């Protein structure tokens, strides 16, 4: 899960709307999703307590084995992790596989197109918009490296 190395102290997050420091992201979102182009179908999920509740609600039959980000072994140096993320958890999910095998409450995207035929960015978007419908704030890392932030219902 080396991608979380982007969330180092002092790094910036780009957006067409604004630029923010990475230490501000936990104040803006409850869940963050990365699509790994090297692993089709797999999405890295990073969540705070509210985000964890929202993602768990999306897969009521599944038991997600969340791992704390502040523990070593995720391909990054915990000492360089932005302090605001040290209470967050992570898990990598094969979204098409899990969604195809268990009951889920994922938002419908792209009509009847099977999840496995979506790009990594589209899969991350499906999770982010689904978290929104569960009442959370989510973001996905976009192909250009910026964040697509999606607020809760009504925002």
Q: Is 119 helix (H, G, I), strand (E, B) or coil?
A: coil
Domain assignment present for residue 27? The answer is no
Confidence of residue 2 (pLDDT cuts 50, 70, 90): very low
Domain assignment present for residue 5? The answer is no
Tell me, what DSSP letter sits at residue 8? Answer: B
pLDDT in tens, 100-127: 899 999 987 666 777 778 888 889 999 9
Domain assignment present for residue 92? The answer is yes
pLDDT computed for residue 144 by the predictor: 78
52's enclosing H/E stretch is helix 49-58
pTM listed for this prediction: 0.80
What total of structural domains would you count in the chain?
A: 1
Place of tokens 């709307």: 17
pLDDT in tens, 63-96: 999 988 877 665 556 566 677 777 889 999 999 9
Domain assignment present for residue 12? The answer is no
Domain assignment present for residue 89? The answer is yes
Domain assignment present for residue 64? The answer is yes
pLDDT computed for residue 15 by the predictor: 45
Range of the domain at 113: 32-150
pLDDT in tens, 41-70: 999 999 999 999 999 999 999 899 998 887
């Amino acid at each position: 899960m080396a991608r979380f190395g982007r969330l180092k102290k002092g790094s910036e997050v780009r957006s067409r709307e604004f630029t923010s420091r990475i230490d501000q992201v936990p104040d803006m979102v409850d869940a963050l999703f990365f699509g790994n182009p090297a692993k089709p179908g797999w999405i890295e999920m990073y969540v705070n307590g509210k985000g964890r509740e929202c993602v768990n609600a999306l897969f009521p039959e599944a038991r997600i084995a969340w791992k704390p980000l502040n523990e070593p072994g995720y391909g990054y140096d915990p000492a360089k992790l932005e302090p605001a993320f040290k209470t967050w958890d992570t898990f990598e999910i094969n979204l098409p596989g899990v969604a195809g095998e268990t009951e889920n409450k994922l938002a419908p995207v792209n009509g009847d197109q099977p999840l496995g035929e979506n790009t990594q960015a589209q899969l991350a978007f499906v999770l982010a918009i689904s978290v929104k419908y569960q009442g959370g704030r989510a973001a996905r890392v976009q192909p250009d490296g910026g964040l697509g932030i999606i607020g809760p219902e009504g925002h």
